[in-house]
Amino acid sequence: MPAVAAAIGLACALGTARPARAQHHAGHEMHDMNGATRNAAVWRMPPMPPSMPMLPGLMRLEPALTPFLPGAGIDPATLPAARPREVIALGDGDTLHLTAGLVRRTINGRTFTMYGFNGQYPGPLIRVPKDATIVVVFDNHIDLPSSIHWHGVRVENRYDGVPGLTQEPVAPGDSFVYHVRFPDAGIYWYHPHHREDIQQDLGLYGNLLVDSPRPDYYSPVNREEVLTLDDLLIDDTGLFPYGRERATHTLMGRFGNIMLVNGEPRYELSVKKGAVVRFFLTNVSNTRTFNLSFGGARMKVVGADISRFEREQWVESVVIAPAQRYIVEVLFDTPGRLALTNRVQAIDHFLATFYPEVDTLGIVTVADAPAAEDHTAAFETLRVNDDVAADIERYRAEFDRPVDHELVLTTRVGELPTLIVQIMSLDTLYFPPVEWNDAMPDMNYLATGENVEWILREAGTGRENMDIHWRFRQGDVVKIRLHNDADSFHPMQHPIHVHGQRFLVLERDGVPNDNLVWKDTALLPVGSTVDLLVEMSNPGEWMLHCHIAEHLEAGMKMAFTVEGQT
């Protein structure tokens, strides 16, 4: 046995013999908790859930990247304090100046240097009428190149905000002018499409609420609430650093350990008894899939990414993956305090068991006094949206068409420490359909775009990611089959986003979907297969990618062209 290997092995073992909890703080003592070094970007072991041991041999490893946090060298006290989101109502032809900049955020009494649009968290809620076109002058005042992608909005291609495909990245200090038309009513969002793993995670996101001209587009309710769902990873030192050159956390994506609703760790809402509230939900997190419920209050799902459902449907909870939107209506008919919770069954990989994990995201207080208007009868009625069904009916003849393109979603690893490879090979005998939490933070944070590659592989040709390039003509309707390979090194769910177009999820695992809705992001659990019917209505060069920010950074993207009609 080589002496050097023996010494290293011995040292590994010794290093791991300390209790896992004590190791959470390893290296932290060097930081001044109260001073300007709070924003110091220094690698340390990621925060671990109390029940989860760190893996021996990994504790002294760190990503082969430069740690990055925003605003290096800037005293946070000199930055403007971020303020809660404002609603900006715009009409056709209006102009909005949107500036990405450094802000000072206080979360749970702790101060961090983060990003914000117009100094707000989230960015301004932009409310526009359907079919309006607005002009957005984007000024980039952060310390990274950036852009704005109008997620789900079928914009003109040159304004889609994808660096390298539709525009050059907007350098710090530069500007870009977007013209954004809103052809569909509903809830959308905007975010950078450049290093989303950093910029979006640090607060650069906002919603777009597009109003239908029809007053009966939705059922009458007492109130509307627009909620962004997010999480943020911090430890005793502060924000956990990002990789400057590439993303970290590329195995599972960067899970946070603080839940944020509209940028706040505790959402609060007060309503009167009998109130019906329509919630517009957007998952803006890097990777977390939420399972939301409102303390047992009755709930129905009304709409999703780009339209309402053909039929409203009762649901017990809402499963919402990154980038997805759902519109739900909730009846609060019992006075008291109801918790908005994310309830999942997490996995303890060491004991090979599941355990319940409940995150309280907020509280809804229901007063004894009755709501001024009683919308209970409308709530009790599950609407059938004939206009949605009629729109979809135009495509029904294509439902049985042969599959036009097939993608297999998989991964490839290389240059991971052998210990990780060995452990994960042992552990991958079973993978849950959805990873609801970061079950292995120490391994996850060591994975970078350099040693983990996420892959869209075209069945038939074997082409991968940006080597794939499909061509369509405007007006084509195509069936795309996506299969999430359960046999890869580390299978995981993927929320697949198609830019610039809308699609229907026709079937899942061979089972036809009998309640359709237009979407732009579909969740594929591990092992599953979905057939999408995509309406190629919008010409240009577009992207299809996984919306787990770190998977996108690790390569899981491809492009396709829709040629316009001449």
Nearer to other proteins, 63 or 241 (CB): 63
Element (H, E) at 303: strand 298-303
DSSP code at position 415: S
Nearer to other proteins, 146 or 282 (CB): 282
DSSP code at position 69: -
Nearer to other proteins, 204 or 524 (CB): 524
The letter for the amino acid at 315 is V
C-alpha 102/C-alpha 140 separation (Å) is 10
Contacts of 416 (CB under 8 A, 6+ apart): 446, 447, 451, 452
**Considering only CA atoms, which of 179, 178, 186 is closest in space to residue 207?**
186
Residue 240 CB, shortest distance to other proteins, in Å, is 17
Residue 518 CB, shortest distance to other proteins, in Å, is 13
Residue 9 CB, shortest distance to other proteins, in Å, is 3
Q: How many CA atoms lie within 13 A of 93 on its CB side?
A: 0
Nearer to other proteins, 67 or 163 (CB): 67
Residue 435 CB, shortest distance to other proteins, in Å, is 12
C-alpha 558/C-alpha 457 separation (Å) is 10
Nearer to other proteins, 170 or 330 (CB): 330
Whole-number Cα distances in Å, 128 to 180, 211, 559: 11, 6, 29
C-alpha 62/C-alpha 501 separation (Å) is 40
Nearer to other proteins, 61 or 135 (CB): 61
Residue 471 CB, shortest distance to other proteins, in Å, is 20
Residue 343 CB, shortest distance to other proteins, in Å, is 5
The letter for the amino acid at 142 is I
Nearer to other proteins, 377 or 426 (CB): 426
C-alpha 108/C-alpha 264 separation (Å) is 9
Nearer to other proteins, 81 or 384 (CB): 384
What are the φ and ψ backbone dihedral angles of 413, each rounded to 5 degrees? -120, 155
C-alpha 154/C-alpha 180 separation (Å) is 9
Spatial contact of 347 and 277, defined as CB atoms under 8 Å apart: no
In DSSP terms, 128 is beta-bridged to: 210
Q: Kindly give the pairing relationship between strand 125-129 and strand 186-191.
A: unpaired
Nearer to other proteins, 95 or 313 (CB): 313
Residue 347 CB, shortest distance to other proteins, in Å, is 8
Residue with tokens 């409203």: 312
Residue 303 CB, shortest distance to other proteins, in Å, is 10
Residue 115 CB, shortest distance to other proteins, in Å, is 27
